[in-house]
Each structure stands twice: as structure tokens, then as C-alpha cells.
Amino acid sequence: MKLLRTLSLPKLIALALAVVAVAIGGTALAMAARGNGPTPPQKPLAQAIHDSLAAPEPSGITARVKFTNKLFPTGALEGKVGSALMSGADGRLWLTNEGRGRLELQSDAGDVQIVWNEKRVSIFDASSNTVYTHDLPQHKAGKGHESKSARTAPSIREIGDFLAKVGKRANVSAAHPTNVGGRPAYSVSVSPRHDGGLLGSLRLAWDAAHGVPLRLAVYAHGASTPVLALEATDISYGAVPAADVEVTPPASAKRSSLGSIGSARKERGRTERGHERAKSNVSGLSAVKAAAGFQVVAPDTLVGLPRKTVQLVGGRDSKTVLVVYGQGLGAIVIAEHPANSPSAGQEPLASLPSVSLDGATGHELATQLGTVLAWQREGVAYVLAGSMPSAAAEAAARSLR
């Protein structure tokens, strides 16, 4: 929490993109545009997934890609971030079977190079001439870190049991035979079964012969076009030279480290033990109000959603109250802490567009999938986050008194 609160907006966005880049590389993701051609035979979803996971892993992937980003409405960032990551772009992808990869995006707003391996991901944003680096958590040998040759695909029954559990919370379609980018593929759609906020569905297609995901898109509720998508107009399999997954930024580029989530967590633990800080483990409205040390605002309901949980987190010098209204993806999360606390020193949303909240000035990050809103009132700093339109988030903020 402290790491996120102290990051500037560009660093916050870069960190999120670093996580996305690693997720893309870790699952051997190579998105492909829908094309015409042969389709695979009809199969039950569990069978199609099993056969894909059991397929031989390609020695490498090379693809031409198109990245679409409609997450931020026009004017949401007031032109503060102008790069291929924010405007969408065409590009290329290289991926080895050793966990190394490179994603190159090109646009008039400025090129972006994302390079990753098992230890680190780096993002070079030409629009700001900045290299962002992020160290990845390292796993100890022998704890779930099997070699790829030792891994076996789960059985059809195991996959079926997993899908049954997922089906309790989400609607999962059948495996539809299709052709994606000239490759026989299966496609599936997953959507929230209950209140999903602004999230409509996640749609995925994968290569029937190679088990490589070929199409991934995120849709907002009621939308016919994706909010986020990565598409490849061409894809091929084969060994990828080491030079293709390496890139050297200009010597003049600024360097900015996003640190390491794993090491930051360990360091925080050592520091708190060294200073004998007692971490709060207080829950329940009455107990939290008594222990917080500042005025806690947590009405029974917020814009029609019932209060579910109230918890006090953090050390003695950085207490934060977390209040959750509603549940699932449609929930609203409120974070409250003293406005003069160390955690309020640099609010990451302060550079975003301002909104009036009945006497208070808020700063808002509005996206197609949700809104984050920060403001201060009567000595307390608030951050509200939820998968809701900006107007609904502002209404909730105004009623939080």
C-alpha cells in the first residue's frame, strides 16, 4: 500500500503495465486477429483445454501485433500520458520458451519497448525518454518451480472440477471452434454471473494445435468492441534468436526503478520488526473507530450498497481504515487515513483532473472499467475505488460524510 501511495502517476501506470507485460509473457500470449481458414473439431471445453495444455510447447513465438487501448475516455488524463501504451499501436512480439520476451509498440505518440525475463521487466517509453524497471518475485527451488519438461497437463476430470467451481461465480461459454489469424483455434467467453460492475466479459481464443493463447480481449458491460485487446496479424512458431528479445535504450534515457514487490514486502517486515511496530488487526466499526485515532466515516449504506467490512490496517504511524460496500466486482472500497500522515505526503492521483465534491476538491482517474477518486475533507484523506462510472463514484464521495 505504501509503495502505491508514494508512486507518481507515470510510475503507477508503468508498474501496472509491467505486471500486464509479465502476465502476457508468462502465459505465452500472442494475440491474433480473426481470420478465415480451417477450424478444429468440436470438443467439450474441458477436453479442448486438456488437449491444448498437453500439446508440445513451441520453441518460440514471433508475431506482428496490434494493441488497442480504449480504457481511458477522451480527456481523462488531459494529455498527461501520451505513449503507445495509452493510445494503442501496432507492433511486434518475440517470445522464447525460456520466459524471455519483447513487445515492441509503435505509434505517432512514441514507441514503447517492453522486455522481460524471469527476474526483471523493463519498459522504455520513447515519449518521455524513460526506462522503467521492475524486479520480479523470485521463487525458491523446489517449491512449485518445476522444469517445463517435468510438468504434465491436468486431467480432464481435474479441469472439469475447476470449471465447475468457476461456474459458480461466472458464466463460461462452450469451446467454439474458430479460426484466428489463420490458425485453427477454440474460443471461450467468461462473464460475471452476478454484479460485475462495469466489466462485461473476457474473451479468449487459443491455438488448437500448439496450446498458445491467440486472442484476448476485455469488454465493458454492454459494449460490442473491446476496451483492451492485443491482436496479431501474423504469427509463426520457431526458435527466437537472443538478439530479438534484447534491446538497449538510448544512453540519454532517464532511469526509474519501480522496485520489487517481493523485496519491498520483506524490507517492510524487517523494518517494522526492528522498530517493534505493532500492526493493527482490528475489525468491526466500533473497534476500528476506537483504535483509529482519527474521525472514521463509514455509514451503514453508500449509494444503496450495504457496508460489509471495516478494518484497520498499517503500523502505528500509518494507520489506514478500509471500508467495503457491496461485494464482488460491483463493490466499492474506501481507504481513509489522516491527511497529515506520512502516507498522505504524495497522493498518486494529485496530477489527475480535478472534480468538485461539495466544497472539497477531488482528483479522479476515470476508465471504461472503473473509477478511482481521491479527496480530503476535515483532516481525513479518502481514496474511493470501484467498477462504476465517474458520476456514480462522485455521488458516493459526496455522500460520504
Q: Count of CB atoms within 10 A of residue 32's CB?
A: 29
Contacts 24+ apart (CB under 8 A), 307-311: 309/283, 310/283, 310/284, 310/285, 311/282, 311/283
Question: Cβ distance 389 to 199 under 8 Å?
Answer: no
**Cell 486431467 belongs to residue:** 155
Instruction: Round to whole Å and give the CA distance between 103 and 280.
Output: 42
The pLDDT score that the predictor gives to residue 303 is 92
The pLDDT score that the predictor gives to residue 9 is 40
DSSP code for 124: E
CATH class of the domain defined by 277-399: alpha beta
Bridging pattern class, strands 305-313 and 301-302: antiparallel
DSSP code for 98: T
Instruction: Round to whole Å and give the CA distance between 243 and 230.
Output: 23
Instruction: Round to whole Å and give the CA distance between 309 and 162.
Output: 28
The pLDDT score that the predictor gives to residue 264 is 44
The pLDDT score that the predictor gives to residue 78 is 52
Question: pTM, whole model, 2 decimals?
Answer: 0.74
The pLDDT score that the predictor gives to residue 21 is 43
The pLDDT score that the predictor gives to residue 74 is 59
Instruction: Round to whole Å and give the CA distance between 257 and 263.
Output: 13
Q: In 3D, which of 318, 390, 310 has the Cα closest to residue 349?
A: 390
Q: Count of CB atoms within 10 A of residue 315's CB?
A: 17
Sequence ranges of the domains in the chain? 2-259, 277-399
> Which amino acid type is present at position 376?
Q
Q: Coil, strand or helix: which one is 28?
A: coil
Contacts 24+ apart (CB under 8 A), 299-302: 299/399, 299/400, 301/325, 302/332, 302/334, 302/396, 302/399, 302/400
| CATH level 3 topology of 2-259 | outer membrane lipoprotein receptor (LolB), chain A (2.50.20)
Instruction: Round to whole Å and give the CA distance between 186 and 49.
Output: 9
The pLDDT score that the predictor gives to residue 199 is 93
The pLDDT score that the predictor gives to residue 140 is 60
Which backbone phi and psi does 317 adopt, to 5 degrees?
Answer: -95, 0
The pLDDT score that the predictor gives to residue 13 is 42
Q: pLDDT 10s digit of each residue in the chain, 401 long?
A: 333 333 344 444 444 444 444 444 434 444 444 557 899 999 999 999 999 989 888 899 999 888 888 887 655 555 445 577 777 888 899 999 888 999 999 887 778 999 998 888 999 988 888 999 998 887 665 544 454 444 688 999 999 999 999 999 999 999 999 988 788 999 999 999 888 899 999 999 898 998 888 888 999 999 999 999 987 778 899 999 989 998 888 899 898 887 654 444 444 444 444 444 444 578 899 999 999 989 999 999 999 999 999 999 877 667 899 999 998 889 999 999 998 754 444 456 677 788 999 888 899 989 999 999 999 998 899 999 999 999 999 999 999 88
> Which amino acid type is present at position 286?
S
